Structure 1
């Protein structure tokens, strides 16, 4: 309990935060702050402010600001998308004054609903409800990829030219960093082959659109009630201007069909969508193509890239475990899980795990 209290105090100075919020929102008769335990990147705090509830997003304590923890970038894109067809919480204020809670942070309204991590809520467990969940997921991705970036002021939000090539290079570099340590335990030659294939098969041309960067079923929220209605897209920290097919391939890499082999990362895989009432990957792609007017012609490349990225993350976890820099019980399992992911990537390349 003492360690938890100490960590919470590193996340927020409740008195300074109260003074800041009073300036922005006016005084309140009741105020409390709690840490949300979920998530693996930025920290999330829940604030009760009278009869209102807010969410605060900030980087982990001690981290320097980089792309993975740039919460004000997240605030920028979410604020720009207010009033568009993309469902989002209302943003309230961003702050770069580290004297308040020790880091950049932003405040947004708390949205009620359910994130389908372990499965969809009981109220959606009908054939129509399951179908609608998949449709809402892919339709919302299409809305993101169709945003008029100039109209919302995001035309300089990233560098779409070369986005996909940079993704391949970045995850090759991340793997090489991890291999500096993990190769002493075991090698993963399949990942070298996958990396070479990706470099040789990177599409030369692709549309330039807004991309979420981490769009999948457990980064969205569904509103209370029925029928299923997606009311918030969460975790925008990797968003930029780039290749919309990357977003689609990433989402598809998490969406399982009944025909799929056993998952190679059971700790991180949800299997509810294997039920016959949910749309298949092929049906999701067809619907996304219909909504966007784009043709998803390089599925093997984009799903392979998604699995390559997952393998890169896993190998980085494994290095941290070997160096004694993490106590997450999942990290040592990457000794076997990463080679299994590499094998999966090769199966996608060979057409053995088709769309």
Structure 2
């Protein structure tokens, strides 16, 4: 299915309008010419991504990524592209964690139907979701010793996220600072995603996790969607982190919990063997604890919380796809029975369906 954004950018007037804005954002007197647009091989479910190639008046050609939200496909109750743009800009400017340079955010929906942001495109490869990086692709083709080095680099990037200075970030997440506030946020998100009536198994899982929640954490930046597939690798290095849509100030444990859970999803949960060189659960925890100087005690709880969040998110994706006519009625069972809820059931012994 073609993206409406791709169609719009094929229209001369729309392409010219984006080019003029791009020129303003880059300080050009003469607007660049957008000479090519194309879609990535994969894209997120709640946003639309287009790669732009622009030629400037001095003849230099630059690559950009345009990303816009899709209002009727939002996965999260507080989806906010403007906040994500601000976050990316702060993280990039502080220099503690590599992330693409933000070119600008345009709140005006008149050109593309929704606001959009543009960032510099970072060259390199990402570990694919489909087919899983554990089965084929550039990472599977690499030697185990090379994969080991890339995994360690990726882990160290992830651990650095929690060290970002919060001075410019606190205002972006007024009600998502610390673990307990983030947990409450996800309950609100779950009610929204399920029209106020989540399944009994999801509600029971929240009750179990609430009863065993670790002591509250000091606010620290959490990447949110912390996984190897959201890192761009280039020339043997982990070059940059992408996709901050799930970010919060809920603390570093959120990221290691999500990392471990998504590693499980892309390996044993799908029936695949983890590639030699990629860290096991134990190795991941050991490296994370050594790099952050944090204790491992609360990690298991955060893994379960991550599985719960994944289950809720897949459920929301299922509802959206069904509403758009992309999913048949019989597949609506995935709202309650999906990868996330199955992992959660194994961890908490909660049946995946009501």
* TM-score category (smaller protein): 0.7 to 0.9
Asked whether 1:197 is paired with 2:212, we answer: no
2:48: which partner in 1?
43
Asked whether 1:326 is paired with 2:324, we answer: yes
Structure 1: which 5+ runs fail to align?
351-355
Match of 2:36 among 29, 32, 35: 32
Q: Deviations 1:31-66 (Å, cap 9, x if unpaired)?
A: 333344522122212111121111112212667998
Match of 1:168 among 178, 183, 192: 183
Deviation at 1:304, TM superposition (A): 0.9
Instruction: Return closer, same or farther for 1:101/1:5 CA change in 2, 3 Å cut-off.
Output: closer
Deviation at 1:111, TM superposition (A): 0.8
- Give the TM-score normalised by the residue count of structure 2: 0.79
Q: Is the 8 A contact 1:257 1:281 kept in 2?
A: no
* RMSD, aligned α-carbons: 3.5
Deviation at 1:299, TM superposition (A): 2.3
Counterpart-to-counterpart distance in 1, 2:278 and 2:75:
39
Counterpart-to-counterpart distance in 1, 2:206 and 2:138:
39
2:310: which partner in 1?
310
Deviation at 1:157, TM superposition (A): 3.0
Q: Is the 8 A contact 2:69 2:81 kept in 1?
A: yes
Match of 1:54 among 43, 54, 64: 64
Instruction: Return closer, same or farther for 1:304/1:30 CA change in 2, 3 Å cut-off.
Output: closer
Deviation at 1:329, TM superposition (A): 4.7
- Give the TM-score normalised by the residue count of structure 1: 0.79
Asked whether 1:146 is paired with 2:156, we answer: no
Q: Is the 8 A contact 1:10 1:61 kept in 2?
A: no
Q: Which has the higher contact order (CA 8 A, sep 6+)?
A: 1
Q: Deviations 1:241-281 (Å, cap 9, x if unpaired)?
A: 222111110111011399x8x52xx4xx9x46x13422112
Structure 2: which 5+ runs fail to align?
56-60, 350-354
Counterpart-to-counterpart distance in 1, 2:72 and 2:344:
35
Task: Give the secondary-structure state (helix, strand or coil) at the position aligned to 2:119.
Answer: strand
2:81: which partner in 1?
71
Task: Give the secondary-structure state (helix, strand or coil) at the position aligned to 2:306.
Answer: helix
Q: Is the 8 A contact 1:74 1:236 kept in 2?
A: yes
Deviation at 1:175, TM superposition (A): 4.5
1:298: which partner in 2?
298
Q: Deviations 1:218-249 (Å, cap 9, x if unpaired)?
A: 211111x33xx111111112223222111110
Asked whether 1:221 is paired with 2:229, we answer: no
Between the two proteins, the alignment pairs up a number of residues equal to 330
Task: Give the secondary-structure state (helix, strand or coil) at the position aligned to 2:278.
Answer: coil
Q: Deviations 1:146-166 (Å, cap 9, x if unpaired)?
A: 11223xx32433247764334
